[in-house]
């Protein structure tokens, strides 16, 4: 039939696909690091085998005092972390 639109086997997409990056770059104690996107602060500390009770964290120039909030803090691209751990001795 000449007046009908051509049949198509592909359905039109209403929303474009958005590709989230799988890794992000951040700075830790002055060094550039790459971690998985969506990593929480507590997961990052665990990957470094650091006990959250024995470190002080500065996240984007703000000292984090509430260690219970670490699991809810998701690290983002361009974040700056300073991690200070205590060393005993005399």
C-alpha–C-alpha distance, residues 17 and 14, integer Å: 10
Q: Could you tell me if residue 1 is inside a domain?
A: no
- The answer to whether 56 touches 84, Cβ cutoff 8 Å, is yes
Average pLDDT over residues 34-61: 96
CATH number for the domain harbouring residue 45 = 3.10.20.30
Q: What is this structure's pTM?
A: 0.74
Q: State which H helix or E strand residue 45 sits in.
A: helix 41-47
Q: Could you tell me if residue 66 is inside a domain?
A: yes
C-alpha–C-alpha distance, residues 67 and 38, integer Å: 18
pLDDT in tens, 61-78: 999 999 999 999 999 999
Average pLDDT over residues 17-43: 91
Question: What is the number of domains present in the chain?
Answer: 1
pLDDT given at position 71: 97
Q: Could you tell me if residue 42 is inside a domain?
A: yes
- Domain coverage including residue 46: 23-85
Q: Please check the confidence at residue 30 and state whether its pLDDT lies above 70.
A: yes
């Amino acid at each position: 039939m000449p007046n009908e639109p051509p049949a198509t086997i592909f359905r039109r997409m209403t929303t474009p696909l958005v590709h989230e990056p799988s890794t992000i770059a951040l700075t830790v104690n002055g060094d550039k690091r790459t971690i998985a996107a969506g990593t929480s602060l507590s997961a990052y500390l665990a990957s470094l085998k650091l006990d959250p009770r024995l470190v002080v964290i500065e996240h984007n120039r703000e000292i984090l005092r509430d260690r219970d909030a670490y699991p809810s803090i998701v690290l983002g691209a361009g974040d700056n972390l300073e991690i200070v751990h205590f060393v005993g001795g005399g």
